[in-house]
Chains A and B, each alone.
Chain A
Amino acid sequence: MADITMPKTAARISDEAAAAKRARMDLISAVVRYSLLFGVGFLMLYPLIWLVGASFKTNSEIFAGAGFLPESPTVEGYVQGWQTSTPYTFGRFFWNSFLIILPKVIGTAISCTMVAYAFARFEFPLKKILFGSVIAVLLLPNVVTRIPQYILFRDLGWLDSFLPLWVPSALAGDAFFVFMLVQFLRSLPTDMEEAARVDGANSLQTLIFIVVPMLGPALVSVCLFQFMWTMNDFLGPLIYISSVDKYPVSLALKLSIDTTEAFEWNRILAMSVLTITPALVVFFAAQRYFIEGISAGGRKG
């Protein structure tokens, strides 16, 4: 027994020493890694943190230093910024943004789903050429179509209305979403749709009752992207909307810079904070749909 125990004890001591050393190294490595990550993360987030902090500062304090903590916090910026220099409050502009976003998101979801379904599941003449042109549109810079589009909408008499913002999306004009849904659909097994056909569902019923529920996660991200992009869209409303009472928040923010003689930076910052809030809230609320992603598709055996 003794001759077995002896070397074992010696081995154990060196083992323990090695384990302790390893644990120490792990700890140091973790501390270094996390401090680096926190440092860089903080650096990247700092402008946003400063924005929120500065929106509670007085106008004179904003340029006094780079710190983000206000010395004497005040909500004056929010109160006065909300009133704006126009006859309308900021609430009106939020409402306008909402009026643009809601039909646009719904239109995008419906039209892109139908177009993607057709491309992913049906054979029809010129399919390859048509899908090729969808991809081509994806690669085309937006700017190229601005002027022809403007002339078209002007001739239709749609200027200074929300129609030029809604209609292209409701006709699956966003090639990116069509492409994204086509790719997602291609990854889904077709068995369920075939079973539905055998069960007597026609193409539209199959789409609504079988495909759309399976597309759920992809559709949520389409809606989310469209929401954020529309919320942040500045150029579209700038070109087509000329009456202040129809301005969305993105234009209204610029408005407060234009019309005020001495810029009230705290009001602008306060309203900027309010403007980014909906997008942030929606993103964090819907985050899990991004994660669920493709795994929510068919059932494996």
Chain B
Amino acid sequence: MAQVQLKNLEKVYNKTNKVVHGIDLDIKDGEFMVLVGPSGCAKSTTLRMVAGLEDITAGDVIIGGERVNDLSPSKRQIAMVFQNYALYPHMKVRGNLSFGLRIAGRPKAEIAAAVDKVAEILEIEPLLDRLPKQLSGGQAQRVALGRALIKNPGVFLFDEPLSNLDAKLRASMRVRITDLHRQLKAEGSSPTVIYVTHDQTEAMTMGDRICVMQAGHIMQVATPKELYNAPANLFVAGFIGTPEMNLVEGAMEGGEFIMGSQRLALGSDLAGRLSSQPGNAVLGIRPQQFSLVSEGPALQAKLVNAEFMGHEVYMHADCEGRRLVSVVGAAEFEARGQSDVIRLRPDPKTLHVFDKSDGRNVSLHGGSIAA
């Protein structure tokens, strides 16, 4: 039951090394916000400043309307789940779960009831009398989750909680965490979640909204759908989506995109939105939005490699010295992808044009490209 606001938040290490460059972020009450970005983008540092584990150099953290910069972590209505679980190694699972309540001096009966309730929700009842070293990774992660849950906090902070698990377990824990959030919302407690990850799949599947960060700056804050369909800049376009979006440098001229000897009509809709001035641009095409055609306007490319994934095929092709990746259905590949030279036609409605100089997505707002 807490809204979290970051206002012009900054972090400077050793007086000179600035890692967080004044970020502003509003997280709504009950929202599942994912901070995502490559390693070293300061997403964990930001989270630790919200938690109170890291000093704030400048700016404010406001939780539930209260400025918490100078409050200790325990007074911020937060609970945190750490990447390597951080379970107390000498305490049994029961002791790990109840530690916070015991420190707070709650009555024994209340603690026992709370432990039982959390253990039931997370299905860890049989593990209560085990030590952390007797748990598997997934079990330990559930106990760590339980330790946060038992405090009934206003804000849950997750610091890459699934990165130590194997792929299969990660997928099931992902669902478990979002289910839990939904369940808590239905019960009326509606906790806010800030979830840090470097894995875009986690970000896309879990977040209500996603905050993409790079080198201490926020690149875009949006819903997963908006992030995918309307990336605000080159960084977001390249970061979100698997395989990565094809980003091809070229020039814009009269509603056409020119790369080497090939021209690609951008479609009246997109061309109309863009100014007609010529300029240097980067064209963004999602691999999924190519279709293999045998005739008509298309990019001609030399097939270099084809990865068979089962129901679809990842085709790596060389087009005017640039690598293009496209994803087509297995049947389509069988029918038209067998020759050395393939013809790829992108869906003009889903093309993005970025300004080469500042990385802005100019196709979104009808901006102009620097000449």
Contacts and interface: CB of A to CB of B under 8 A. Distances in A.
A and B associate in one complex = yes
B36 to A, nearest CB: 21
* Size category, B interface: 20 to 34
Interface residues of A, number: 23
17 contacts: A189-B86, A191-B86, A192-B87, A192-B88, A194-B86, A195-B82, A195-B88, A197-B52, A198-B52, A198-B100, A199-B100, A200-B100, A209-B103, A213-B88, A299-B140, A300-B84, A301-B164
Contact of B53 (A194, A209, A213): A194
Nearest to A206: B103
B261 interface: no
Interface stretch (B25-33, B73-81, B192-200): B73-81
A205 interface: yes
B147 interface: yes
Contacts of A301: 84-85, 137, 140, 164
B84 A199 contact: no
B231 interface: no
A210 B74 contact: no
Contact of B103 (A189, A194, A201, A299): A201
Contacts of A196: 88, 99
B90 interface: yes
A194 to B, nearest CB: 5
B16 interface: no
A205 B89 contact: no
Given A214-B89, A299-B140, A194 B99 contact: no
A214 B53 CA distance: 21
B88 A210 contact: yes
Contact of B90 (A194, A199, A213): A213
Contacts of A192: 86-89
A124 to B, nearest CB: 14
Interface of A: 189, 191-192, 194-201, 205, 209-210, 213-214, 216, 296-301
A186 to B, nearest CB: 17
Given A197-B72, A199-B99, A299 B78 contact: no
Most buried by A among B52, B99, B137, B147: B99
Nearest to A123: B55
Nearest to A197: B73
B78 A198 contact: yes
Contacts of B104: 200
A194 B81 CA distance: 11
Interface string B45-87: 0000001110000000000000000001110001110101111
A196 B103 CA distance: 9
B86 A199 contact: no
Q: Please give me the 10 A-B residue pairs with the lowest Cβ-Cβ distance, nearest first.
A: A200-B74, A199-B100, A191-B86, A301-B164, A213-B90, A195-B86, A198-B73, A200-B103, A198-B80, A201-B103
Interface in B94-152: 99-100, 103-104, 132-133, 137, 140, 147, 151
Given A299-B85, A299-B133, A198 B164 contact: no
Contacts of B99: 196, 199, 201, 209
A205 B103 contact: yes
